[in-house]
Amino acid sequence: MNTIGKILTLTTFGESHGPAMGGVLDGMPASIEMDLEALQRFVDRRRTGQSVGSSSRDEQDRVEVLSGIWQGKTLGTPIGFVVRNTDARSADYDEIARCYRPNHADYTWDVKYGICDPRGGGRASARETVARVVAGGIALQALEILGITVEAEIVEETGLEQAIVDAAREGDTLGGIISCTVKGVPAGLGEPVFGKLHAQLAAAMMSIPSVHGFEYGDGFDMASRCGSEVMDRFVKRSDGTIGTETNHSGGIQGGISNGEDIVMRIAFKPVPTLMRDVLTIDRDGNPVTLHPHGRHDVCVLQRALPVVEAMAALVILDNYLIKKTNVL
């Protein structure tokens, strides 16, 4: 399950402390102009050192396109790319290799595969998301041609930055919520019954490390309101198009986009690595005290913004291409 998409597909590969992360983006139409400098700037938004509480691991994240783009245009062939790992310190994880970290994937991956790469979390590491950001950045440039934009922002509580500083001082971590809005989406995207657009977006967002919740439109708030309060009445606009007066549905009805802004919120749990002693057990079940060290985020929200945008872009562009195959 390392591939997402149906027509536009992304397969990612690599481990946190392996030689490189990378991916193959297939199904991208030919002759789409690509600005590789703009792509690099988008990927740079995910880098460390740009926000309070981010990891000190200093990866340059230079994108190397291996195939599928020539003279600034897509060829219609698979776009292969790598982002090399240049600042891994595997020795930081020698102690972790002998025990199970709470709230990490160590135990569950060990049970499933009988082997677990402890170096930075291996493939379960958020380092894997750099490949998604590269592919999503390519998709975003294609969506821009269609007049579709994707923007994520932190649903920031007052004093979040100071809270991150305080948590770091205590060796603790924080989570939070990111909202994402997709504008310019035409009506008619989505594949009922089991391929509803919001279900695809939810699956994409829930695949991001540390994500523990997803809602679109009014989400959970709808459960405590009356139908009359959340009804999106249809109207005919002055330009002759059909729209809705409100957007409680978040731009999706019956699993299909209705032409309004797609609005969603994604909840991130606190980073599971605490920089203080943690009680756990080793691989033989013996109680141990873990003394974490190394380089870890205190809060991932700022670095997660381009990841959320990338996953939304991949899903929306894939569904746009699917819709093009439904009718002549």
> Does residue 93 contact residue 119 with C-beta atoms inside 8 Å?
yes
> Does residue 153 contact residue 305 with C-beta atoms inside 8 Å?
yes
Q: Which helix (H) or strand (E) holds 183?
A: strand 176-183
> Does residue 82 contact residue 88 with C-beta atoms inside 8 Å?
no
> Does residue 25 contact residue 8 with C-beta atoms inside 8 Å?
yes
The partner residues of 34 in beta bridges, in order of sequence, read none
Helices assigned H by DSSP within 170-233: 197-206
pLDDT of residue 325: 85
Mean pLDDT by 10 residues, the chain (328 residues): 97 92 97 98 89 73 97 98 83 73 88 80 87 98 98 87 91 95 97 96 97 98 96 94 96 98 97 89 91 80 96 98 80
pLDDT of residue 296: 77
Distance, in Å, from the CA atom of 4 to the CA atom of 226, rounded to the nearest integer, reads 36
Helices assigned H by DSSP within 146-253: 160-169, 197-206
pLDDT of residue 215: 98
CATH of the domain at 72: 3.60.150.10
Taking each helix axis from N to C end, the angle separating 197-206 and 301-326, rounded to the nearest 10 degrees, works out to 150
pLDDT of residue 290: 86
At 33-58, the pLDDT tens digits run 999 999 999 999 999 877 777 776 67
pLDDT of residue 51: 74
Look at the chain and report how many structural domains it folds into. Answer: 1
How many other C-beta atoms are found inside a 10 Å radius of the C-beta of residue 146? 13
pLDDT of residue 114: 87
CA quadruple 101, 102, 105, 106: dihedral positive or negative?
Answer: positive
* Distances from the Cα of 218 to the Cα of 156, 165, 175, 232, angstroms: 18, 32, 21, 11
Determine the structural domain holding residue 171 and report its residue range: 3-326
